[in-house]
């Protein structure tokens, strides 16, 4: 079993040139020389076409009717040939591919030109005979050179086609490695920028937390938590009055003798939607609530609300606890104090200044977060491009290894 040779992308080209130089270099040099000769030949054709164009134009200007028609025909042909030669692209650096394209394009151009000569030159005779002979001489030399190129391509150059493609693959691999290094540099920079942003975001969050927990804002936050707790407790104490309140409101809406004043009707809505706000805005002894409850008790007794017995019993018990036993006294006092404290703190200059600082910090952290999002998107794109580039490199390395084996029967691995 033959040994597998291992190469890096940096030294595979040197090894391949050394191993195949005696075959490839002469063929490639010959191809380059033929292309240069064809370039000169095409330029000569262009000059010969221009000579025909200029001379025929002079005869057209003389208006000699004996020659005029033939001069116009030759002038038209010369324009066609000039344009045709201009369209032939001769490569500076020859490869099998562009050599093959030049051979094909030249064949097409010469075939059409030869038909033009065969069809039109006899009609132009006997005029412009010297000019036509000059052009034909240049054209015949160009045709001979094309035949030489065509034979060289099919017999010799084709043998090194795969080898040349392999050198091109090595150049492509080098470019891909350079691209991957550049992506790695960008990836490292984006990563460090993201870490710096995350550090800045964490620091701003720390400042926000510090401002929220100290001074008046801290007290306001604590008061807010206390109000949330009092809200839950108020809802719990009045849970059995929810359904009766809704039914009493409905009774008042339909004008069926609930006895509620507009103020009481509005207050019931407040107790249903925001029980803390409703209780905390009551006067000492919560007289408005007691008035409502007395009317509620009367409606229950008179069965105007059509409550189920169990719900009616629980509602009457809750009414009795609140009206007769003042079960909400402590909760009412705490709610009034918490609400007053919230109003006082909310309107203080210290809290206003701190809240303005908090707003600025929140805006700053939003900006930093957006920048981080942009970096994360860029990081995702770079990672995807890295994977795609690495996959392209694996594919190119595999092609190089297969090509080398096909024309040298040597197993190699490109690292």
* Backbone Cα Rg of the chain: 49
Residues 149 and 105: beta-carbon distance below 8 Å: no
Task: Assign residue 93 the CATH number of its domain.
Answer: 1.20.120
Shortest CA distance to 317 belongs to which of 302, 327, 329, 303? 327
How many domains is the chain partitioned into structurally?
Answer: 1
How far apart are the C-alpha atoms of 305 and 316, rounded to whole Å? Answer: 13
Residue 415 resides in a domain = no
Measured CA to CA, the distance from residue 349 to residue 355 in angstroms comes to 10
Phi then psi for 8, rounded to 5 degrees?
A: -90, 165
33, part of any domain: yes
| Alpha carbons 47 and 49: distance in angstroms, whole number | 5
Would you say residue 252 lies in a domain?
no
- For the record, the structure tokens of 243 come out as 């359904």
Residues in the chain: 415
Residue 5 lies in a domain: no
Task: Classify residue 202: in a domain, yes or no.
Answer: no
Ordered mean pLDDT values, 10 residues apiece, the chain (415 residues): 81 90 89 96 95 92 88 93 93 92 96 93 89 94 96 90 91 95 96 96 91 78 87 93 90 77 91 93 93 90 88 92 92 92 81 85 94 96 97 95 88 91
Residue 86 covered by a domain: yes
- The answer to the question of residue 83 being in a domain is yes
Q: Can you give the pLDDT at residue 410?
A: 86
Residue 1 lies in a domain: no
| Nearest residue to 237 (alpha-carbon basis) of 271, 268, 203 | 271
Copy the structure tokens of residue 346: 């909310």
Torsion angle (degrees, nearest 10) of CA 267, 273, 275, 278: -30
pLDDT of residue 2: 62
Q: Which residues, 6 or more positions from 407, have their beta carbon under 8 angstroms from its beta carbon?
A: 162, 163
Nearest CA among 68, 105, 112, 109 for reference residue 89:
105
Domain of residue 79, residue span: 11-155
Query: How far, in whole angstroms, is CA 48 from its chain's centroid?
Result: 55
């Amino acid at each position: 079993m033959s040994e597998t040779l291992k190469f890096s992308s940096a030294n595979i080209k040197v090894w391949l040139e050394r191993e195949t130089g005696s075959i490839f270099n002469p063929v490639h040099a010959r191809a380059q020389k033929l292309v240069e000769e064809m370039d000169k030949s095409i330029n000569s054709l262009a000059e010969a076409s221009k000579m025909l164009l200029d001379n025929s134009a002079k005869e057209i200007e003389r208006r000699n009717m004996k020659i005029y028609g033939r001069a116009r025909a030759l002038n038209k042909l010369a324009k066609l040939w000039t344009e045709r030669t201009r369209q032939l692209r001769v490569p500076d650096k020859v490869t099998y591919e562009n050599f093959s394209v030049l051979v094909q394009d030249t064949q097409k151009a010469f075939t059409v030109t030869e038909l033009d000569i065969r069809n039109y030159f006899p009609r132009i005779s006997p005029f412009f005979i010297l000019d036509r002979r000059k052009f034909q001489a240049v054209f015949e030399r160009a045709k001979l050179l094309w035949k030489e190129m065509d034979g060289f391509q099919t017999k010799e150059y084709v043998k090194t086609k795969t080898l040349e493609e392999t050198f091109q693959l090595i150049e492509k691999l080098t470019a891909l490695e350079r691209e991957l290094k550049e992506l790695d540099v960008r990836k490292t920079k984006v990563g460090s920028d993201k870490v710096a942003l995350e550090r800045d975001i964490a620091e701003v969050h720390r400042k926000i937390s510090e401002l929220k927990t100290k001074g008046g804002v801290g007290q306001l936050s604590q008061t807010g938590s206390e109000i949330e707790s009092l809200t839950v407790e108020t809802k719990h104490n009045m849970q059995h009055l929810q359904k009766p309140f809704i039914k009493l409101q409905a009774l008042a809406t339909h004008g069926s003798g609930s006895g509620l004043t507009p103020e009481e009707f509005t207050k019931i809505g407040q107790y249903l939607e925001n029980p803390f706000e409703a209780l905390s805005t009551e006067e000492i002894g919560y007289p408005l609530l007691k008035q409502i409850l007395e009317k509620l008790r009367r409606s229950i007794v008179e069965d105007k609300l059509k409550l189920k017995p169990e719900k009616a019993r629980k509602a009457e018990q809750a009414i009795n606890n609140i009206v007769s036993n003042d079960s909400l006294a402590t909760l009412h006092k705490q709610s009034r104090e918490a609400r007053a404290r919230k109003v006082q703190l909310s309107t203080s200059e210290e809290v206003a200044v701190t809240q303005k600082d908090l707003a600025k910090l929140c805006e700053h952290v939003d900006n930093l977060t957006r920048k981080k999002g942009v970096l994360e998107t860029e990081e995702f794109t770079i990672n995807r491009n890295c994977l795609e580039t690495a996959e392209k490199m694996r594919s190119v390395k595999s092609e190089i290894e297969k090509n080398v084996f096909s024309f040298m029967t040597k197993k190699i691995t490109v690292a």
